[in-house]
Structure 1
């Protein structure tokens, strides 16, 4: 499984890269803010949300600490998706936040 540090993510965000971030935390957790541009799909809803995802697009998955997003990455990889887990999750992320 591919992984990425929050420093690598911040560098990509600073470079205005076209990123596709999926936040798999629960509703009450994303109320504290998400990575700008992230799409919120709670972990339990991932299997029922595959039609929203494009297998030709690379995704970066994030949760609070990196464990749930790792589980989501494993599942999505098995389904043929190109995914990367954000190491340390939002606990390690100290960049800009977006509130939805």
Structure 2
């Protein structure tokens, strides 16, 4: 007698959305977007912070431990990052960092974007050096 595999279940809408946007809270990966408080925790725990703003924005103030890779150079600049560590991406508002995090994820990095950008980073207690 052969045993049949269990019938396939159709994923729920929520499961499909989670897969589309990088998994769920219990898949072991960082979410595609995190709030600034969570971003600070990740960086404190060893994640690499990447600032994707332009040079003039970087010079106006940036997190001391951040790596500067402008968004337009993220594909080439990714070589400076380690795939074994999560990457937290920040910009001015969160728009460019979402794009960069998505690109980094497609390159095999566990990347997330800081919702609210540098202003949220500072409000959450993140240091900024000018």
Return the TM-score normalized by structure 2. 0.67
- SS of corresponding position for 2:60: coil
RMSD: 1.9
Instruction: Extract unaligned runs of 5+ from structure 1.
Output: none
Instruction: Extract unaligned runs of 5+ from structure 2.
Output: 1-21, 23-30
Runs of 4+ in 1 over 3 A off after TM superposition: none
Of 11, 15, 31 in structure 1, the residue corresponding to residue 59 of structure 2 is 31
Does the C-alpha gap of structure 1 residues 83 and 90 become closer, same or farther in structure 2, counting only changes over 3 Å?
A: same
Highest CA radius of gyration, 1 or 2? 2
How does 1:37-48 map onto structure 2 within 5 Å?
A: 37-48=65-76
Greater RCO between the two (CA within 8 Å, min separation 6)?
A: 1
> What does residue 98 of structure 1 align with?
129
Judging by fraction of residues, say which structure has more strand.
1
